[in-house]
Chains A and B, each alone.
Chain A
Amino acid sequence: DAGVIQSPRHEVTEMGQEVTLRCKPISGHDYLFWYRQTMMRGLELLIYFNNNVPIDDSGMPEDRFSAKMPNASFSTLKIQPSEPRDSAVYFCASSFLGRGMNTEAFFGQGTRLTVV
């Protein structure tokens, strides 16, 4: 398996524009997570899905952020409209429930977003 695949790797956009980040989890994984990494706040969980259903979106900063998982192999994180303070590295991760035990989360390489 190629691992968790995120696209694009880098995105530069102007303030006010819509930005869509994409993630393909590892096949067979039933949990998908979106994290944001900034110098000021470190790594924060934004939202996670289980079997394509959003379970906890309490980390989503505001209504400008939305995430979807239309099927088991694809998820998007959308920011509309984008603002300079959204500049960060966004990571997607996936994992699976194995015999009731916490299993390893596998991370993608991240999308570096710059909003100018």
Chain B
Amino acid sequence: GDSVTQMEGPVTLSEEAFLTINCTYTATGYPSLFWYVQYPGEGLQLLLKATKADDKGSNKGFEATYRKETTSFHLEKGSVQVSDSAVYFCALSEIQGAQKLVFGQGTRLTINP
């Protein structure tokens, strides 16, 4: 079945550091790919998405590029802030029209001032 594998956490960085959270996937078709973020005590919020190969999703300084050849969707940010501290989930959706999401295990990110 479909699956998503994320970089093990937790990840701790200093403010203004460069961030990469690795994500790879296994899917039988051509999925859409997503990064969701979960702040403490909150539900998940969509951070960015890409629906086809070579698409780049971006939001709030975060970026991820859909790489079909390496089945990857790594999340990057050039300069992190304390407010970026959260749990980040990579996910895929196979079914057209339905957000039946398969999630990675999540990566907890802590940014120290």
Q: How far is the CA of A93 from the CA of B102 in the complex (A)?
A: 13
| Nearest-CB residue, chain B, relative to A31 | B98
B94-113 CB contacts (< 8 Å) to partner A: 95-106
A104 and B89 in contact, given A31-B98, A42-B104, A95-B99 (Cβ under 8 angstroms)? no
Are B46 and A105 neighbours in the complex by a CB distance under 8 Å?
yes
Q: Which residues of B contact A42 (CB under 8 A)?
A: 103-106
Decide if B44 is an interface residue (CB 8 Å cutoff): yes
The binding surface of chain B is classed by DSSP as loop
**Cβ of B104 and Cβ of A48 under 8 Å apart?**
no
A50 at the interface (CB under 8 A from B): yes
Q: A104-B46, A104-B49, A107-B44 are in contact. Are A43 and B103 (CB under 8 A)?
A: yes
Please provide the chain A residues from 1 to 52 with a CB less than 8 Å away from any CB of chain B in the complex.
Answer: 4, 31, 33, 35, 42-43, 45, 48, 50
Bound: A69/B105 CA distance, A: 28
Q: What B residues does A71 contact at CB under 8 A?
A: none
Q: Are A97 and B98 in contact (CB under 8 A)?
A: yes
Min CB gap A42→B, angstroms: 5
Task: From B89, B96, B99, B105, give the contact of A31 (CB < 8 A).
Answer: B99
4 new A-B contacts, CB < 8 A, other than A31-B99, A107-B43, A109-B41, are A56-B100, A97-B97, A102-B96, A107-B44
Interface residues of B (CB under 8 A from A): 32, 36, 41-46, 49, 51, 89, 93, 95-106
User: Could you jot down 14 A-B contacts, CB within 8 Å?
Assistant: A31-B98, A33-B99, A35-B101, A42-B106, A43-B103, A48-B98, A56-B100, A101-B51, A101-B96, A102-B95, A106-B46, A107-B36, A107-B45, A108-B43
